[in-house]
Chain A
Amino acid sequence: MARTVAAMSVYTSTLSGERHRFVSLARLLAAASPERSGDRLAGLAASSARERVAARWALAEVPLATFLTEPVIPYETDDVTRLILDTHDPVAFAPVAGMTVGELREWLLSEAADAEALTALAAGLTPEMVAAVSKLMGNADLVAVARKVRVVTAFRSTIGLPGRLATRLQPNHPTDDPAGVAAALLDGLLLGSGDAVIGINPATDSPKAVRDLLELLDGVITRYGIPTQSCVLSHVTTSVDLMERGAPVDLVFQSIAGSQAANASFGVTLGLLDEAYEAALALDRGTVGRNVMYFETGQGSALSADAHHGVDQQTVETRAYAVARRYQPLLVNTVVGFIGPEYLYDGRQILRAALEDHFCGKLLGLPMGLDICYTNHADADDDDIATMLTMLGVAGASFVICTPGGDDIMLNYQSASYHDALYLREVLGLRPAPEFEAWLGSIGLLDERGAIREVAAHPLTAIGRGLAA
């Protein structure tokens, strides 16, 4: 059994007669984190399996209120910390204010924590509280709690309704060739993909190239009356510039991270994001909702930018969600396996991170989706994609990213395929976003069970016929 004492920010724990000491809340969180290569690279990981469990014993006894008085990155020097503490809602926090981290885990798993209670709690939780409780949870716990949370957002389609799974259609091309993009777009639409967003990672950030892609996507969406939104994932300053010039920007995208310095490495500040958010709202291009932002995050980005401040990669990732929720985004996804094996070594570590990110994002009130993916130097393969996809489908992920054949030829990594999304919808009985589902039905792409038909000579192939000629 373990005995734990906290005094003056030093946490100690005695496990089977061996005493362990953690000199700060950040060190305690890091030592309690499930093993991953990025924390070892940063020199933050537990030095032994015993120390890791001892840290969890100590963490379980930390009162949640401690997280409001002991920020892991100083309030004075970090605007993400200020955002977290300045917007904390004590009324929402009240139901759990007297709990420890271990007690919060048990309450989250209990029947009392239903969809309504979890929605009401979101503004009372800080990222660090959520990261802490995730470290005490097994993979099954992360699924069980996340699937109870409801986060619904909307623009031209509605994301996050019970029994639904949306997809981002990602028709990337290494040179942004419009014909190549259109070909991959047609492929995805015919396989029922694209209800979360049709989103392109451009090869360059040049405003002209980005605008050309925006016009292409807007043209297809308008011509075929597709109830979805487009996004070209360029830097936020490019989007602001293009909105000023009247380009058809549906969603403003930005990669974000969990510290001010890491965000600076992405060239963003909260002020810039505020400005972009206001500009996108003013365009008022949504039809069924006004969620206009799209964010991507991912464990390891703060360490990669040398901006993690001694905080473990999962905790600092969760802090990015505080940035995201300020803007009531339509979509947020972690690009969980993209960063490489120095941060998440293999399929097991990527799966764990995917479940953590989804759980933490949902608990903080975000419409959390995932890019379930790996690079060729990570120890993972398409079976890991299937495993992750299935667990995240059960966990109620808002959306997943899909590419042709699961192979992104622009970013050079493997993600889920359009087929994978068909599989997930089939085995779990999940349906597309309702507006998009109705559209698929109206153009004859759904069979009598509501599944995507295999079609020949569909009218949509007109998108491709012009290119093929």
Chain B
Amino acid sequence: MNQLPENTVDRTNHRDPGDSANPGESANPANPASTDDFALWAALRRHTQARIGLGRAGCGLPTRHRLELQAAHAAARDAVHSPFDPDTVAAALTGMPSVRVRSAAPDRLAYLQRPDLGRRLHPTDRAHLPAGEWDVVFVVADGLSSRAVHEHAAAVVRATVSLLPADFRVAPVVLAEQARVALGDDIAWAMDAAMVVVLVGERPGMSAADSLGAYLTYRPRPGITTDADRNCLSNIRPPLGLTYEGAAGKLAALLGRARELGLTGVGLKDESDHEHVIGRLP
């Protein structure tokens, strides 16, 4: 029972310790697993990513599965704590202008414990934001996974902008550090932008630490706008999740409809993941 096919169980991108020797096997000589069982669990894993049929070492997990869980958790922890590097994103925007701001959260510790600070602009950084009659401002926010932002955010911005009508006035991209979704409200307000799209690193899970979310809000008002006023795409993470082109297509369509109707949120019927995210935003 403690042997698993590589392609179904390994969701963590780590080197399989079983490549050289399976550290779980010798620890569990009494395991009466049969070939039948092996085949059964392999077949059942087609239906779920849950960690089923792991076998046992006494009451514990076989060593291999314990280490696999730790590897998944390590990837998630590192995604939360790796510093945001705005230079990486700015370079990947290839010529699109960008500006940088910080939230009022001074560091990661404060960010994690004080979501209110992550939703407000740092007082001196408001001056970095060029006001103008913008139709939309894209905010790249580190959120809970800087890795997701480094890997995916610039590509989504570029793909989305390329699909917008020519008359769309797109503001310089704002690269925001220690930022939560609602920081976009403060930013859009300061720039007088009609709409804001916040691309943010989602809370890492055990199967994905690089998932990017996109939150669209029409005419946000800091402190008044709620999560119900937003539309959301989650799990932007090619090739397993939503692709850049797929995300850009949906975002561009949402932006067009939102501008036409003058609203976002529950009133804007769409294909977004709205229902699943209320109250659980990064």
Interface residues of A (CB under 8 A from B): 37, 40-41, 171-174, 177, 179-184, 186-187, 191, 203-204, 304, 341-342, 345, 375-377, 381-382, 403-407, 409, 412, 414, 417, 419, 422-423, 426, 454-457, 461, 464-465, 467-469
Contact = CB atoms under 8 A, between A and B. Distances in A.
Given A171-B50, A407-B51, A37 B76 contact: no
B53 interface: yes
A419 B56 contact: yes
Given A405-B52, A465-B40, 7 more contacts: A172-B50, A183-B45, A184-B48, A186-B44, A376-B80, A382-B73, A403-B50
A206 to B, nearest CB: 10
A422 B113 CA distance: 34
A393 to B, nearest CB: 13
Interface string B186-213: 0000000000000000011111000000
Contacts of A403: 50
Given A342-B115, A461-B40, A184 B52 contact: yes
B36 interface: yes
Contacts of B204: 376-377
A184 B116 CA distance: 38
Contacts of B36: 456-457
A406 B47 CA distance: 18
Nearest to B279: A304
B50 A187 contact: yes
Chain B interface SS verdict (over half): loop
Contacts of B34: 456-457
B61 A342 contact: no
Contacts of A422: 56, 59
A180 B203 CA distance: 24
Interface of B: 1, 30-34, 36-37, 39-40, 43-45, 47-56, 58-61, 65, 69-70, 72-73, 76-77, 80, 112-116, 144, 203-207, 275-276, 279
Contact of A376 (B51, B52, B76, B116): B76
Among B59, B61, B205, max chain A CB count under 10 A is at B59
B223 to A, nearest CB: 12
Contact of B69 (A37, A41, A382, A409): A382
Contacts of B1: 454, 456
A382 B203 CA distance: 18
B63 to A, nearest CB: 13
A404 B52 contact: yes
Contacts of A407: 50-51, 69, 72, 206
A184 B54 CA distance: 11
A345 B113 contact: yes
Given A304-B279, A455-B32, A456-B33, A405 B48 contact: no
Contact of A184 (B50, B80, B279): B50
18 contacts: A41-B113, A41-B116, A180-B50, A184-B50, A191-B56, A203-B276, A341-B112, A342-B113, A342-B115, A376-B76, A377-B144, A377-B204, A419-B61, A422-B56, A426-B58, A426-B59, A454-B55, A468-B44
8 smallest beta-carbon distances between A and B, as pairs: A405-B51, A468-B43, A180-B48, A376-B76, A179-B47, A422-B59, A187-B52, A183-B44
B47 A177 contact: yes
Nearest to A185: B52
A405 B279 contact: no
Among A172, A203, A376, max chain B CB count under 10 A is at A376
A313 to B, nearest CB: 13
Contact of A467 (B44, B56, B144, B279): B44
B24 to A, nearest CB: 13
A464 to B, nearest CB: 5
A124 to B, nearest CB: 37
A426 B116 CA distance: 44
Contact of A423 (B43, B54, B59): B59
A304 B45 CA distance: 36
A417 B60 CA distance: 10
Given A186-B44, A414-B206, A405 B113 contact: no
Contacts of B31: 454
A423 B45 CA distance: 25
A406 B49 CA distance: 13
A414 B51 CA distance: 12
Nearest to B115: A342
A180 to B, nearest CB: 3
Contact of A341 (B47, B55, B113, B205): B113
A51 B173 CA distance: 46
B59 A173 contact: no
Given A377-B144, A377-B203, A409-B207, A467 B47 contact: yes
Contacts of B54: 404-405, 419
A273 B279 CA distance: 23
Among B31, B39, B53, max chain A CB count under 10 A is at B53
A12 to B, nearest CB: 30
A376 B206 contact: yes
Contact of B61 (A376, A417, A426): A417
A254 B112 CA distance: 28
Contacts of A382: 69-70, 73
B50 to A, nearest CB: 4
Given A341-B113, A342-B114, A382-B69, A405 B44 contact: no
Nearest to A184: B50
Among A173, A180, A181, max chain B CB count under 10 A is at A180
Contacts of B47: 177, 179-180, 182-183, 467
Contacts of B49: 174, 409
Contacts of A423: 59-60
A423 B61 CA distance: 10
